[in-house]
């Protein structure tokens, strides 16, 4: 498992350049361009189970959802950041990508530390330090538990 560490204000253009917004929308089209202008090594080397650690305002900028779809598709286990931009946060719920807002955990990390996440209990272990993060409200957990917003909506329509 690899930890990819980035700074504050990682915007949607860094995560997925705007010039591809209307030409790439499937996970396979998105994957090669993930973080293209921020870290060219990311798309080549990212593996299932990797974690992203970042500063404030992760995912700010455009409403494009390709970054979330792409990070989910390459198997990012979680993004842990000091804070997230709101559209990105909603998009992550809708795609079932785990986001953890925990500034203390980001500050506590040093190169080489192992990170363990228990999403059910809301606990992150960084090296030998433990941090807790709040759970999502039940209305929203229902979306994630259904496998994302599309499955949740399809289920709702079928019930009607």
Binding another protein (rule: CB under 8 A), the pick from 6, 46, 61, 79 is 61
Interacting residues with another protein between 34 and 53 (CB under 8 A): 37
- Smaller CB separation from another protein, 112 or 137: 137
Q: Which residue has the tokens 């700010």?
A: 60
Burial classification of residue 48, based on how many CB atoms lie within 10 Å of its CB (0-12 exposed, 13-18 middle, 19 or more buried): exposed
Q: In whole angstroms, what is the distance from residue 53 CA to residue 45 CA?
A: 16
Helix (H, G, I), strand (E, B) or coil at 58: strand
Number of residues that bind another protein (CB under 8 A): 42
Q: In whole angstroms, what is the distance from residue 58 CA to residue 35 CA?
A: 13
Binding mask 65-104 for another protein (x = CB under 8 A): x--x--------------x-xxx--xx--xx---------
Kindly calculate the radius of gyration of the chain based on its CA atoms and give it in whole angstroms: 16
Residues engaged in binding another protein (CB under 8 A) = 8-9, 11-14, 17-19, 21-23, 25, 37, 56-57, 60-65, 68, 83, 85-87, 90-91, 94-95, 137, 139-140, 148-150, 152-154, 156-157
């Amino acid at each position: 498992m690899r930890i990819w560490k980035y700074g504050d204000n990682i915007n949607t253009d860094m995560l997925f350049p705007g010039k591809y917004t209307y030409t790439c929308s499937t996970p396979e089209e998105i994957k090669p361009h993930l973080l293209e202008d921020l870290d060219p090594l990311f798309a080549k080397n990212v593996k299932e189970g990797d974690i992203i650690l970042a500063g404030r305002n992760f995912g700010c900028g455009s409403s494009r959802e390709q970054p979330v779809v792409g990070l989910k598709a390459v198997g990012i286990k979680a993004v842990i950041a000091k804070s997230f931009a709101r559209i990105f946060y909603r998009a992550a719920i809708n795609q079932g990508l785990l986001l953890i807002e925990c500034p203390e955990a980001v500050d506590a990390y040093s190169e080489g530390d192992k990170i363990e996440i228990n999403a059910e209990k809301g606990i992150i272990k960084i090296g030998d330090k433990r941090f807790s993060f709040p759970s999502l409200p039940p209305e929203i957990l229902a979306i994630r538990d259904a496998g994302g917003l599309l499955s949740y909506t399809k289920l709702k329509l079928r019930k009607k």
